[in-house]
Amino acid sequence: MVGKLAGYRTIWIHPDGIANILSISHLKSKFRVTYDSHGSKQFIVRNSNGADQAFKQSAQGLLYIDMSLQNGMLFNTVGVVQVDNNHFRYSSHDYSKATLARKIQRTIGRPSTKQFICIVNENLLPNCPIKKNEILFAAIIFGEDIGALKDKTTWKKPKSVSLERSPDLLLQYKDVTVAVNIMFVNEVPYLTSTSRHIRFVTAEMIKNVKHETLMTALKQIVNAYKKGRFSVTVILADNQFECTQDGLTLY
């Protein structure tokens, strides 16, 4: 595939490849590049903002930069760039410490930012090289770690909505309470419904979740109950269906 790396030039990429290769001759035409063959054995690329990016030498001899620790791209329209401009609010030292803080956070099991600060403040990591401020810097520069959020924001079963009905009405089940929801199967939306007591279930594929589409689908559900001489008097739904409230009241 061919793509344009902003601020650099058009490059060839492979979406499943482990690395993208940059030409040193093209790189030096855009940025200052230095190399010390007797010292650190790494290329230093200085962008227009004055920040340095080091391409280190691997055991096999390839000079590379690991972008998984950078949380961003290498170049922008004016030079080297991160995910956003938060990086440029901090000195190189603070940014380096923030990068280290994020690396340690992932190494110890990806605790939340709050938990990570508690661990550091209570000295639960002996000889820990980072402090509270550097953890906060990492959260601002890189955002919350996605891995720290996974499996920790679980769905909880909502409490049942209690509706007061007269005993004779409950025995007849003529007036029906229907609960509706939207679920996705392979990114395709379906409007599902189930009724209390009689347990009638419906599922309909819908093209989108816009007001007109939801109104049409809900009216079809109501009409299905009408054919069975039932009357839908209450529809339980989340805020996504709020736009249909007035239309259904008039229907």
pTM confidence score: 0.35
Can you give the pLDDT at residue 162?
66
Tell whether 160 is covered by a domain.
Answer: no
Q: What is the pLDDT of residue 3?
A: 73
72 and 97 together in one domain:
no
For 138, the token pair is 């990492």
- The answer to whether the CB of 25 falls within 8 A of the CB of 13 is no
| pLDDT for residue 84 | 44
Q: Which amino acid is at 133?
A: N
Query: In this predicted structure, what is the pLDDT of residue 151?
Result: 59
What pLDDT does residue 117 have? 92
147: its two tokens: 């891995």
* Tens-place pLDDT, residues 120-137: 999 898 889 999 989 988
Task: Give every strand in the sheet of 231-236, ordered side by side.
Answer: 201-205, 188-195, 175-185, 231-236
Pair (147, 180) in one structural domain: no
Residues 52 and 103 in one domain: no
How far apart are the C-alpha atoms of 159 and 14, rounded to whole Å?
Answer: 49
Using CA atoms, how far residue 250 sits from 13, 244, 245, in Å, is 56, 10, 9
Count of domains observed in the chain: 3
Kindly state whether residues 70 and 91 are assigned to the same domain: no
Extract the residue ranges of the chain whose pLDDT is less than 50: 71-85, 169-170
Q: Which domain holds residue 180?
A: 167-250
- Evaluate whether 87 touches 95 at the Cβ level (below 8 Å): yes
DSSP states of 218-229: HHHHHHHHHHTT
Which pLDDT score, from 0 to 100, does residue 80 have?
Answer: 32
Same domain, 176 and 241: yes
Each residue of 12-43: pLDDT tens digit? 777 777 777 788 888 888 888 888 777 777 88
| Helix, strand or coil, per DSSP, at residue 123 | coil
User: CA 137, CA 97: separation in Å to the nearest integer?
Assistant: 8
Record the tokens describing residue 176, joined without a space.
Answer: 């029906």
What is the rounded CA–CA span in Å between residue 102 and residue 107? Answer: 9
How many whole angstroms separate alpha carbon 167 and alpha carbon 169? 5
pLDDT at 129: 92
Tokens found for residue 38:
């007797």
Q: Do 55 and 42 meet the contact criterion of CB atoms below 8 Å apart?
A: yes
What's the pLDDT at 33?
87
Domain boundary among 48, 81, 114: 81
pLDDT at 100: 92
